[in-house]
Amino acid sequence: MRPPAIAHSVDRRTFLKASVSAAGALLVTIPLPPRSLSAATRAAEASTWCVYLTLHPDNTAELMSPVMEMGQFMRTTGPMILADEMDLDWSLLTITWDEPVLMRKNGKGELDSRYGQVSAGGSQSVRNNWDYMRQAGATVRRMLVEEAAARWRMSPDSLIAQDSFVIDPAGDRRISYGELAAKAARRRVRPEQIKLKQRSEYRIMGKDAVSADIRDIVMGRPLFGIDEEYPNALQAVIERAPALHADIASYNREAVLAMPGVRHVIEMPRKIEDHWPGGDAQVLAAGIAVVADSLWAAMQGRKALQARWKNGTSDDSAQQIQEFRRLVAGDGVANKLIDRGDVDAAFATADLVLDQTYEKPLFAHACMEPFNCIADIRSDSATVITGHQVPHWVAREVENITGIDGLKVTVVSKRMGGGFGRRGDLDYVREAVTLSYRIKQPVKVTWTREDDIQRDFFDAAAVMRVRAALKNKRIVGWQHRQAQTRGRPEASEYFPANVVSNYRVEQFASTSNIPCGPWRAPTILQWAFATESMLDELAHAAGEDPLAFRLQWLQPYREYPIENWAAKTIHSGRMAACYEAAARLADWGRPRPKGTGLGIAGQFTFGSYAACVLEVSVSEDNELKLLHAWGAIDCGFAINPNHIRSQMEGGFVDGLNAALFNDARVSEGRVVNDNFGSLRWIRLREAPLSIEVAIIDSGYGPTGVGEPPLPPAGAALANAIFAACGKRVRRMPIADSFRI
């Protein structure tokens, strides 16, 4: 790791802290004020963000990428921003691995990452790091240019920087960054001399780059937490109560302790606490940990436990869906989340009212890499190695469990084999920390796939009844009435809000023990499924083309202010442009053969806009085939088009999987389909043959692409099926209604 020698007091007149390493390399740390804080807090927190960049004499560079990686490509995107602003030669840059996450405590004593937002979630990483990375890059570039200018006794403004060299265009000479670095480190740069590039000057951003880690991945290098070894670590697996809230009744303790390699058998307490999206939930199941010399021995011990359990809940997901159906169909009073204009009057004077109910089951996360965590708890320090979306929460958890100061906890956050929101939970971390604390030895906890699906925090199941009123082919009223396992619809401030002025969203409270949590674009796929299916049904009812109907509906194209944690405005014209671009790629107007149809759907998610057109065929004997897809996204400035396309492809396929197959079922308080044998998951032969993507340049600043591609998929599929065969599907999992 780089030495974390950060100055805590910042000279407000200079941005930069630089030092020279023993090898003569320049180490730059750039504290910048965090984004989106009040001026007062800004001053107090001014030293909270840094970039660790090392420039070596041979002109190679190393960067410690500050943002967690789970396949959303921030280890490539973040460095591209910095490298472009500092005119670094991209091919000379190495991005380092396994750096401990640097942390600090704020004025209230709360742990946070020391460098701005290194955590990943909510499609916010690019936005959180965009300004910092550019400022950092521009600052280093200026230092190097000033050093070259001093050497040549010229004005810095007559020099240019390019591909890791400072160039004197008049004198036809150049010096490498590596040569300049050590001396440049002593320079202080004034803020007013730092100039960010114009977009037209970008040389790295805006062009396709491949993943920084591609070679390591295709060679099978051990990049993930599950691959990690730790000196003297014991291996633990945990048999957990299958039913929610159940306690241990009995198990074969002595027999397991006598097995070869088994060292400890330890009971793990159940834990219930408030959990997103609200309400008490079981965050740790009661369990029995088998701790052994090897993972294999621990797994054998676990099998021999023959644990029995008692007092589990009787939660049943199918019954809950029936209850939700009953609630939304009845005229019981629901909680009004939003009620704008005069919805009742709009319905009373409408030409046509459609009233339809849409459903989705619980979605499991099933991150490809099962959870795992290494904890080494010492007397007053600790090390935790794991893949986690929010590493400072890991340190906070060690502090909570052991009392060790969080700043004495080294957290190494590994590449994650998928996160999807689930790796923001702490259960697997708590288990490892608790065990190591207890047995005073390093422990690695490894989960199985069954452990993962049984103990998931699901995306809520929901039943949504949508009533929409048409007058003169315009939508004049919209009511969304729903019940869901936990939480609320996250997208209720997005369209149709604002575009339809008489707009109501209401929800019935549910009492369920089934734990829910953030799941890639939480609850937004369901929102798009209900909204975009209804838009389609309205278009057909009005005798309009579904694309033309949407474009007309979003008029006039304008920006609306919204209240949402992830976005302050939403623009109907940017949404419309996505529909149009996706439709253009799909050649929307071209008639398709009988049995084949196109469906369109779009959704705004956390600041970005995405729309998709999907082509499917449905045969006479009900066989469904997904043929081709075309997508368009407006995520503002496209830093790396290659990875935006990749996220569009993968996110759309993930959404199709959710709509077709993802269906975690709970009966007698336990998940009954807990592995890929019983929980079906999309495979290559079921995915579209091709997905073509248009990236729309709307001139806005960059926003995220991890979640936005997913939500339109379910509705695009349902709408395509209708176009292909005239059958309207309003219930997920859609694979239940077809052969696929």
Residues that bind ligand FES (CB under 6 A): 71, 368, 418
CA 160 – CA 177 distance, rounded (Å): 12
Q: Which two tokens stand for residue 228?
A: 């990690």
Supply the minimum distance, in Å, between the C-beta of residue 675 and ligand FES: 9
What is the rounded CA–CA span in Å between residue 286 and residue 691?
44
Cβ distance to another protein smaller for residue 250 or 294:
294
The tokens of 109 are what? 């004593």
By CB under 8 A, which span of 41-49, 51-59, 350-358, 644-652 interacts with another protein?
A: 644-652
Q: Give the one entry of another protein, ligand FES, none that residue 682 binds, where binding means its C-beta sits below a cut-off of 5 to 8 angstroms depending on kind.
A: another protein
Q: List the interface residues with another protein, window 66-85 (CB under 8 A).
A: 70-73
> Which tokens go with 444?
């690695």
Which CB atom, from 565 or from 676, has the smaller least distance to ligand FES?
Answer: 676
For position 352 contacting another protein by CB under 8 A, the verdict is no
Is the Cβ–Cβ distance between 446 and 295 less than 8 Å?
A: yes
Quick one: what does residue 213 bind among another protein, ligand FES, none, with the CB cut-off 5 to 8 Å set by partner type? Answer: another protein
* Phi, psi for 87 (deg, rounded to 5): 55, 50
Q: Does 630 participate in binding another protein (rule CB under 8 A)?
A: no
| Least distance (Å) between residue 205 CB and another protein | 17
Residue closest to ligand FES (Cβ)? 368
Sole binder of another protein in the list 57, 279, 341, 418 (CB under 8 A): 418
Q: List the one residue from 13, 190, 195, 215 that touches another protein (CB under 8 A).
A: 215
Which residue's structure tokens are 């606490």? Answer: 273
367 counts as binding another protein under rule CB under 8 A: yes
What lies within 8 Å, CB to CB, of 146 at 6+ separation is: 156, 184, 187, 189, 193
Among 118, 140, 653, 660, binds another protein (CB under 8 A): 653
Contact 226/370 with Cβ under 8 angstroms?
Answer: yes
From its phi and psi, is residue 537 left (phi > 0), alpha (psi between -120 and 50) or beta? alpha
Q: How far is the CB of 712 from another protein (least distance, A)?
A: 14
The answer to whether the beta carbons of residues 228 and 222 sit under 8 Å apart is: yes
Shortest Å distance, C-beta 71 to another protein: 3
In the complex, what is the shortest distance from the CB of residue 364 to ligand FES, in angstroms, rounded to a whole number? 14
Alpha-carbon gap, residue 194 to 398, rounded angstroms = 41
Give the shortest CB-416-to-ligand FES separation in angstroms.
9
Kindly state the greatest CA–CA separation across the chain: 84
**CA–CA dist 336, 300 (Å, integer):** 53
Q: How are beta strands 624-634 and 567-571 bridged, if at all?
A: unpaired
Cα gap 71→608, rounded to integer Å: 19
Residue 369 partner contact from another protein, ligand FES, none using kind-dependent CB cut-offs of 5 to 8 Å = another protein
**Min dist. Cβ of residue 71 to ligand FES (A):** 5
DSSP code at position 730: -
CB 556 within 8 A of CB 520: no
Number of residues in contact with another protein under rule CB under 8 A: 59
* Shortest distance, position 368 Cβ to ligand FES, whole Å: 4
- 682: contact with another protein by CB under 8 A: yes
Q: Which of 57, 206, 595, 650 is the binder for another protein (CB under 8 A)?
A: 650
Residue 214 binding result from ligand FES, another protein, none, given CB thresholds of 5 to 8 Å by partner type? another protein
Contacts of another protein in 503-522 (CB under 8 A):
none
In angstroms, the CA 567 to CA 409 distance is: 34
Tokens of 477: 């009223």
Q: Interface with another protein includes 363 (CB under 8 A)?
A: no
Identify the bridge partners of residue 282 per DSSP, sorted by sequence position. Answer: 272
Look at residue 170 and give the partner it binds from another protein, ligand FES, none, a contact being a CB closer than 5 to 8 Å depending on partner kind: none
Nearer to another protein, 121 or 496 (CB): 121
Question: Torsions phi, psi of 206, nearest 5?
Answer: 90, -5
- 3-state secondary structure (DSSP) of residue 387: coil
Q: Which residues here bind another protein, judged by CB under 8 A?
A: 70-73, 210-211, 213-215, 217-224, 226-227, 229, 294-296, 366-370, 415-419, 448-449, 642, 646-647, 649-654, 656-657, 675-677, 681-685, 687-691
